[in-house]
């Protein structure tokens, strides 16, 4: 038993020793760090990285038994030096690199780590173009500028600004940030109107020139995205250029927060010229670990004589070390070994001092990278976890505003909930809410200390007046024309434009440019295209706001309503002794007269048996039918109806008569008083269906509308330019080379009719649009001019300008008195049909009732006719003889049926009631005669 136990112990020890040898951890692991020692970011990040390595080595739960060694190199804020330092760092067999702080250096070094399979965690390279798809071994342990520019765009949209001027350093960091800002603003329907690029390492004179040119532009919203070490000079120069005064807006990215955090309190008090700035700072939730680290960092900085303070990049650098430490710990726990192999593509060149063969590929780089991507812990910056795009989850920013007493918090932005005054971490557990109600910020102090929000836009102060294109028309000079005044143009449209310009809160010098030679109208679409191609800044005149123009230009609020109408020649109606017959057509007269007689006959039939007024001699009854029929036209009939069917028919007929009388009166009045259309055109439908030529104003959109929308052949369209051409074409008519009608907008037609009264508007307005002023796309001036036009309308000045230019006495343009037509059967056949059907229905009911009475009456007469014997033995022979005389013995012929119908209703009813009593008397008499012996 003891020998077996000894063998078992030996086996267990061997297995233990073997397993331990296979999973043995290295005693030391080297990681690299790249930053610029003497920089705002570098000073904070270097000390934070060293403190993180100390904390990792002091923590027994991470990398137990393995010491983390940090090898730092100074990139000296140079892409070339940074590349050399990175290569030298790779020679020292590091398995991960912290840094660099510069996006430009990050682009270069990412190529190196991709080849050598070494994960690179940058705490300061925020350029969004450093993507995981191009650089798989690059990971950003800070927030990408992609999210920061979304925060900037949200602020711009919150204050309803539409254009910004971007001030940025012209390197990978600045250009990548501006690309992200442009995309983010586009989602908010805003844009970068001017890019003020500052070359790296620029002197004061260069920055002054860049800002001076930017100040000449219209936008007063400046977004500043530069390096922390040189960015502060921008504000001192801007202050000298008076760009920190009232009306300006400055939104600064997180580099300013790093500078302010690194500066002392005394420096902040001297920055009075920075009041009103809005800047972003990476958001970190408060925690005990964060407070302990800040205290530890400050103590160490004092001991080392570091004058600058801790900024956000120090927190990210600290967490980056812990990300690497956790990943290496999981990497070693999985049994992986740290091995390097030579890259056969790298070899020493003959005669070269560069030793490329010392660069080794980290064999476990892919596995370590996967462990880094699986990181999930709570660090000083909050939750540390990567998404599928290798970005940190829950990016968030604090929004600060600099006032007289320093900076103060005005809100937050997070990718989860947008703008809010609530901390982002308190919203992560709630449903995402990016509604308008959630988008809010606290009050902001603006530059110049105004309480109201700056407009964000002014007219550009570049010395160039606004180039305003004006059509030089051949006619309709009331709208716009050349003049000898200071503006060299005048007219209704010009007066409205000048009145609106005066209401703007900033001066706008204008230069009016006449387009066209004045002998014929210019093409209005060509003028709008000149605005779209920057040949003109604006177009002022009688420009209709139509679909194809709004695609290339920005229009103001319409200052006058307009729409297409038809104008046609008219002629006076000739007086005639038979004018009273014109309201109805011959067909209408015939059908109406026939219906009068028909209704009279129907009422006579229904009333004849019950109403004494409808009985008498045949001559009297015929006269009654005609008198009753036509007297209902004036509601003067004297005969009363007593039957239910007769009254029902009469009520319907009186309703029909009322409509006929009203229509006749209205039509006759119109015929006797109005003018008649000379061409028979009554509206757009009849104009299109005809083959007559149509006139239109040359240069206007009317031609395209008639062809494209109404499918009118171009061969039918005749261009006209002047009022005289309008009148001449209409007077000549289609037979003599003129036009049947002209299609144009209402303002032109009003002016035309004020000169020529023998024409009229026919039909209804068949389009709805308005006239507006055209500006270049996304021009803020269009919105401000729209507001000014609304002010003119509300104050009544818009109407006063209209009355001033349209005071000429004009002919009535109401089309209600034009083109009166005769009423035909088509307008009343439904009414007549209804009346006829009701009459037929009443007749059917009446004759059905008569037939039923006839059947009952005929049956009783046949069954109870007395025999000759009974008549001889019955008393009262005279009475029986009288009954036989009054009742026919057989009722089978049509003549007898007519005689029955002609009888009075009361007489028929008495006869039918008498038959049962006679039957009883006859039966009693028969039984008595049989009982006599």
Look at residue 518 and tell me whether its pLDDT is greater than 90.
no
DSSP states of 166-230: EEEESSHHHHHHHHHHHHHHHHTT-EEEEEEEE-TT--HHHHHHHHHHHHTSSB-EEEEE--HHH
Secondary structure of residue 926 in the 3-state scheme: helix
Two tokens, residue 797: 């000045």
Q: How confident is residue 915, by pLDDT bands cut at 50, 70 and 90?
A: low
> Of 561, 542, 511, 559, which Cα lies nearest the Cα of 782?
559
In this prediction, residue 94 has a pLDDT band, given cuts at 50, 70 and 90, of very high
- For the chain, give the mean pLDDT: 82
The per-residue pLDDT for 868 is 45
Chain segment 40-67, per-residue pLDDT in tens: 999 999 999 999 999 999 998 999 889 9
Q: State how far the alpha carbon of 481 is from the alpha carbons of 353, 423, 466, 474, 484, in Å.
A: 81, 61, 19, 9, 10
Coil/strand/helix, residue 532 = helix
Q: At what angle do helices 204-215 and 228-240 cross, to 10 degrees?
A: 60
Give the number of other Cβ atoms within 10 Å of residue 245's Cβ.
13
Sorting pLDDT into bands at 50, 70 and 90, what band is 922?
low
Does residue 641 or residue 291 have the better pLDDT?
A: 291
Mean pLDDT for the stretch of residues 860-879: 46
- Predicted confidence at residue 195, as pLDDT, reads 95
Q: Is the pLDDT of residue 678 over 60?
A: no
Alpha helices (H) along 220-364: 228-240, 255-262, 265-269, 288-304, 312-333
Q: What is the pLDDT of residue 813?
A: 44
pLDDT one-digit tens code per residue, 184-212: 999 998 999 999 999 998 999 999 999 99
Least confident of 212-226, 277-291, 350-364, 763-777: 350-364
Q: What is the predicted pLDDT for the residue at 31?
A: 95
Q: How confident is the model at residue 4 (pLDDT cuts 50, 70, 90)?
A: very low
pLDDT in tens, 539-555: 999 999 998 999 999 99
User: Residue 116 has which token pair?
Assistant: 């050598």
User: Residue 152: its pLDDT value, please?
Assistant: 97
User: Is 295 or 20 the better-scoring residue by pLDDT?
Assistant: 295
Please check whether residue 89 is in contact with residue 97, taking contact to mean a CB–CB distance below 8 angstroms: yes
Strands 376-379 and 769-771, sheet pairing: unpaired
pLDDT at position 875? 44
pTM: 0.65
Task: Tell me how far apart the alpha carbons of residues 140 and 142 are, in angstroms, rounded to a whole number.
Answer: 5
Q: What is the DSSP letter of 748?
A: H
Please, what is the end-to-end C-alpha distance for the chain in angstroms? 159
**Cβ atoms of residues 693 and 738 within 8 Å:** yes
CATH number listed for the domain at residues 145-284+396-438 = 3.40.50.2300
Compute CA distances 59 → 31, 63, 325, 326, 438, whole Å: 17, 8, 11, 11, 42
- Write down the H helix ranges in 359-453: 365-373
Nearest to 792 by CA among 538, 509, 501: 501
Q: How confident is the model at residue 437 (pLDDT cuts 50, 70, 90)?
A: very low
The pLDDT, as a whole number, for residue 905 is 64
Query: Cβ of 849: how many Cβ atoms within 10 Å?
Result: 11
Q: What are phi and psi of 932, to 5 degrees?
A: -80, 130
The whole-number average pLDDT for the span 261-282 is: 77
Contact 123, 141 (CB under 8 A): yes
* Residue 865 confidence (pLDDT): 47
pLDDT at residue 767, as a whole number = 87
Cα torsion 533, 534, 536, 540: sign:
positive
| pLDDT band with cut points at 50, 70 and 90 for residue 173 | very high
pLDDT of 247 strictly over 70: yes
Quickly name the fold that domain 466-561+776-806 has: D-Maltodextrin-Binding Protein; domain 2 (3.40.190)
How far, in Å, CA of 217 to CA of 248, rounded?
12
pLDDT exceeds 50 at position 763? yes
Q: What is the mean pLDDT of residues 421-434?
A: 80
Q: Is 560:747 a contact under the CB 8 Å cutoff?
A: yes
Q: 3-state class of 586 per DSSP?
A: helix
- In this model, does residue 343 exceed pLDDT 90? no
pLDDT of 676 over the 60 cut: no
In this prediction, residue 756 carries a pLDDT of: 86
Which has the minimum average pLDDT: 196-210, 299-313, 455-469, 802-816? 802-816
pLDDT at 323 over 90: yes
Q: Which residues pair with 105 in a beta bridge?
A: none
**Tokens in use for 603?**
């009422």
The pLDDT assigned to 438 comes to: 57
Percent of the chain with pLDDT strictly greater than 70? 79
At residue 220, the pLDDT reads 92
pLDDT of residue 489: 92
Q: Tell me, which fold does domain 677-768 have in CATH?
A: D-Maltodextrin-Binding Protein; domain 2 (3.40.190)
Reported in sequence order, the residue ranges of 772-818 that DSSP labels E, i.e. its strands, are: 774-775
Residue 168 in tokens: 């940025």
In this prediction, residue 925 carries a pLDDT of 55
Q: What is the pLDDT of residue 440?
A: 82
Residue-level pLDDT at 646: 72
Q: Provide the pLDDT for residue 919.
A: 53
Strands 120-122 and 138-140: parallel
The pairing of strands 774-775 and 554-555 is antiparallel
- Contact present, 438 and 482 (Cβ < 8 Å): no
Q: Is the pLDDT of residue 11 over 90?
A: no
pLDDT of 15 strictly over 70:
no
Residue 397 DSSP SS3: strand
pLDDT band at 677 (very low <50, low <70, confident <90, very high): low
Answer yes or no: is pLDDT of 886 > 60: no
Averaged pLDDT for residues 18-46: 81
Mean pLDDT, range 695-705, rounded to an integer:
91
For residues 898-926, give the mean pLDDT.
60
Q: For residue 324, give the nearest of 386, 375, 381 by alpha carbon.
A: 375
Average pLDDT value for residue range 163-180: 94
Please list the residues that pair with 192 across neighbouring strands: 164
Instruction: Report the CATH fold assignment for 28-142+286-347+355-385.
Output: Rossmann fold (3.40.50)
% of the chain with per-residue pLDDT over 90? 42
pLDDT value at residue 808: 61
β-pairing, 376-379 with 221-225? unpaired
Q: What is the CB neighbour count within 10 angstroms for residue 718?
A: 16
Which ranges of 117-171 does DSSP label H, i.e. alpha helix? 145-158
pLDDT at 42: 92
Helix (H) or strand (E) holding 624: helix 618-631
pLDDT band at 873 (very low <50, low <70, confident <90, very high): very low
Q: What is the pLDDT of residues 128-171, one digit of tens each?
A: 999 888 999 999 999 999 999 999 999 999 998 989 999 999 99
Give start and end residues of each alpha helix (H) in 312-391: 312-333, 365-373
């Amino acid at each position: 038993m003891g020998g077996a136990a000894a063998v078992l112990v030996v086996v267990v020890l061997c297995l233990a020793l073997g397993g331990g040898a296979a999973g043995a951890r290295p005693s030391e692991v080297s990681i690299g760090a790249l930053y610029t020692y003497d920089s705002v970011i570098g000073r904070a990040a270097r000390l934070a990285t060293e403190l993180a390595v100390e904390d990792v080595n002091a923590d027994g739960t991470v990398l137990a038994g393995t010491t983390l060694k940090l090898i730092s190199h100074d990139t000296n804020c140079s892409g070339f030096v940074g590349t050399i330092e990175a290569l030298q760092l790779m020679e020292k067999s590091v398995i991960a690199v912290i840094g660099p702080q510069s996006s430009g250096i990050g682009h270069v070094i990412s190529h190196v780590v991709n080849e050598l399979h070494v994960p690179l965690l940058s705490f300061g390279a925020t350029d969004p173009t450093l993507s995981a798809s191009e650089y798989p071994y690059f990971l950003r342990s800070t927030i990408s500028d992609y999210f920061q520019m979304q925060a900037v765009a949200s602020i711009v949209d919150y204050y309803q600004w539409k254009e910004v001027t971007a001030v940025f350093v012209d390197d990978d960091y600045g250009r990548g940030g501006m690309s992200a800002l442009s995309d983010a603003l586009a989602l908010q329907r805003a844009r970068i109107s001017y890019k003020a690029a500052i070359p790296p390492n620029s002197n004061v004179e260069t920055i002054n020139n860049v800002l001076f040119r930017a100040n000449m532009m219209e936008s007063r919203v400046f977004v500043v995205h530069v390096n922390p070490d040189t960015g502060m000079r921008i504000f001192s120069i801007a202050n000298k250029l008076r760009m920190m005064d009232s009306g300006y807006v400055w939104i600064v990215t997180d580099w300013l927060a790093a500078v302010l955090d690194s500066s002392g309190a005394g420096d902040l008090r001297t920055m009075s010229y920075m009041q009103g700035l809005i800047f972003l700072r990476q958001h970190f939730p408060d925690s005990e670990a964060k407070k302990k680290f800040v205290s530890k960092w400050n103590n160490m900085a004092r001991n080392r004589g570091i004058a600058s303070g801790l900024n956000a990049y120090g927190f990210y650098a600290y967490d980056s070390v812990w990300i690497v430490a956790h990943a290496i710990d999981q990497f070693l726990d999985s049994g992986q070994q740290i091995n390097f192999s030579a890259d056969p593509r790298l070899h020493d060149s003959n005669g070269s001092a560069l030793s490329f063969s010392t660069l080794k590929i980290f064999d476990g780089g892919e596995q370590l990278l996967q462990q880094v991507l699986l990181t999930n812990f709570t660090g000083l910056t909050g939750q540390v976890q990567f998404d599928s795009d290798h970005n940190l989850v829950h990016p968030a920013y604090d929004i600060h505003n600099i006032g007289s007493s320093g900076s103060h918090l005005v809100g937050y932005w997070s990718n989860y909930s947008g703008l809010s005054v609530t901390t982002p971490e308190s919203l992560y557990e709630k449903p995402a809410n990016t509604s308008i109600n959630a988008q809010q910020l606290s009050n902001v102090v603006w530059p110049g200390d105004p309480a109201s929000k700056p407009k964000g836009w002014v007219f550009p102060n570049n010395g160039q007046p606004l180039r305003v294109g004006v059509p030089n028309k051949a006619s309709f000079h009331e709208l716009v024309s050349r003049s000898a005044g200071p503006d060299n143009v005048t007219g209704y449209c010009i007066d409205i434009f000048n009145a609106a310009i005066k209401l703007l809160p900033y001066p706008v010098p204008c230069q009016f440019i006449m387009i066209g030679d004045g002998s014929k109208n210019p093409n209005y679409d060509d003028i709008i295209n000149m605005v779209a191609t920057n040949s003109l800044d604006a177009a002022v005149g009688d420009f209709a706001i139509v679909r194809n123009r709004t695609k290339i230009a920005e229009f103001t609020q319409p200052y006058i309503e307009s729409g297409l109408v038809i104008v046609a020649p008219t002629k006076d109606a000739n007086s005639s002794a038979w004018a009273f017959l014109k309201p109805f057509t011959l067909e209408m007269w015939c059908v109406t007269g026939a219906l009068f007689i028909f209704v009279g006959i129907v009422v006579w039939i229904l009333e004849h048996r019950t109403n004494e007024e409808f009985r008498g001699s045949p001559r009297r009854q015929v006269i009654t039918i005609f008198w009753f029929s036509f007297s209902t036209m004036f509601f003067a009939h004297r005969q009363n109806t007593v039957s239910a069917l007769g009254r029902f028919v009469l009520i319907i007929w009186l309703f029909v008569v009322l409509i006929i009388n009203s229509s006749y009166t209205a039509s006759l009045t119109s015929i006797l008083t109005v003018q008649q259309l000379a061409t028979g055109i009554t509206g757009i439908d009849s104009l299109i269906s005809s083959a007559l030529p149509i006139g239109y104003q040359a240069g206007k959109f009317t031609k395209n509308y008639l062809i494209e929308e109404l499918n009118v052949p171009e061969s039918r369209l005749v261009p006209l330019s002047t009022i005289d051409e309008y009148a001449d074409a209409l007077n000549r008519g289609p037979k003599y080379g003129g036009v049947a009608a002209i299609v144009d907008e209402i303002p032109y037609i009003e002016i035309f009719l004020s000169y020529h009264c023998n024409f009229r508007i026919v039909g209804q307005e068949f389009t709805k649009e308005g006239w507006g002023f055209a500006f270049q796309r996304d021009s803020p001036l269009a919105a401000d001019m729209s507001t000014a036009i609304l002010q003119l309308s509300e104050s009544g000045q818009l109407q006063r300008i209209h009355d001033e230019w349209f005071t000429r006495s004009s002919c009535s343009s109401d089309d209600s008195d034009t083109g009166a037509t005769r009423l035909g059967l088509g307008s009343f056949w439904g009414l007549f049909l209804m009346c006829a059907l009701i009459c037929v229905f009443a007749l059917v009911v009446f004759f059905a009732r008569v037939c039923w009475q006839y059947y009952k009456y005929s049956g009783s007469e046949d069954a109870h006719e007395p025999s000759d014997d009974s008549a001889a033995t019955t008393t009262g022979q005279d009475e029986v003889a009288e009954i036989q005389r009054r009742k026919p013995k057989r009722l089978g012929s049509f003549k007898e049926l007519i005689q029955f119908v002609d009888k009075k209703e009361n007489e028929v009813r008495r006869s039918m009631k008498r038959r049962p009593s006679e039957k009883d008397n006859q039966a009693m008499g028969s039984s008595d005669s049989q009982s006599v012996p």
